[in-house]
């Protein structure tokens, strides 16, 4: 008999995530979607992320979504952010740090040399270590961002709504209660 063809499963979206000058709290809030993670993993696969062992963003192909937590505090942050921009079709600034610099940007009224001197005495100078920037920057000052998810951290439901919107091909517009800055 002519059985109807089995519909092709939709291609999984490729999602990369990273923490720059972040505290990993935004990633924890993403994990706070709890059992919805099982539903999510049916629709996405993760590229470079603190949750995977992939070392370089985009080495397995272009990513559909990049979630960036944290602002920019050192040279390595800038290099990684540019790689994310180059390899992610949609780049999302996640959390207060990525959007505004966040509480780490409170160091911006101090001299970065003075800070290192007062913390370390003898400042580490191995070239393995990335040099700090003189100011902590929000990521939109270095690359174009497509969306932002405010909050410190954003509520789990805000992550869920953003991912559902992007998976469905909709422009993410957070529900009013999900826009939080604290």
**Residues interacting with other proteins, by CB under 8 A?**
93, 96, 99-103, 105-106, 108-109, 135, 137-138, 140-141, 145, 147-150, 152, 155, 173-182
Cα distance between residue 73 and residue 171, in whole Å: 30
**83 or 93: CB nearest other proteins:** 93
Nearer to other proteins, 57 or 98 (CB): 98
Contact by Cβ (8 Å): 19, 26: yes
Choice between 12 and 135, CB closer to other proteins = 135
Least distance (Å) between residue 96 CB and other proteins: 5
Structure tokens at 84: 């994310």
Structure tokens at 7: 């519909």
Mark out the alpha helices in the chain (DSSP H runs): 25-31, 36-41, 75-87, 95-100, 112-120, 156-167
Supply the minimum distance, in Å, between the C-beta of residue 100 and other proteins: 6
The conformation of residue 11, written as its DSSP 8-state character, comes to: P
Task: Report in angstroms how near the CB of residue 127 gets to other proteins at its nearest.
Answer: 29
Q: How far is the CB of 117 from other proteins (least distance, A)?
A: 19
Q: Cβ closer to other proteins: 45 or 146?
A: 146
**Beta-carbon contacts of residue 167 (< 8 Å; ≥ 6 apart):** 13, 43, 44
């Amino acid at each position: 008999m002519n059985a109807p063809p089995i519909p092709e499963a939709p291609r999984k979206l490729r999602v990369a995530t990273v923490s720059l000058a972040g505290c990993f709290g935004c990633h924890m809030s993403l994990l706070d979607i709890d059992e919805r993670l099982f539903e999510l993993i049916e629709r996405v696969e993760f590229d470079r992320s603190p949750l995977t062992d992939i070392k370089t963003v985009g080495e397995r192909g272009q990513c559909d979504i990049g979630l960036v937590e944290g602002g920019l505090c050192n040279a390595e942050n800038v290099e990684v952010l540019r790689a994310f921009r180059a390899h992610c079709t949609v780049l999302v600034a996640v959390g207060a740090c990525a959007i505004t610099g966040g509480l780490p940007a409170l160091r911006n009224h101090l001299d970065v040399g003075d800070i290192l001197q007062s913390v370390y005495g003898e400042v580490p100078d191995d070239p393995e270590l990335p040099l700090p920037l003189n100011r902590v920057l929000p990521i939109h000052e270095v690359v174009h961002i497509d969306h932002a998810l405010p909050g410190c951290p954003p509520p789990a439901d805000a992550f869920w709504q953003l991912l559902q919107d992007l998976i469905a091909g909709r422009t993410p517009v957070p529900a009013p209660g999900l826009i939080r800055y604290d």
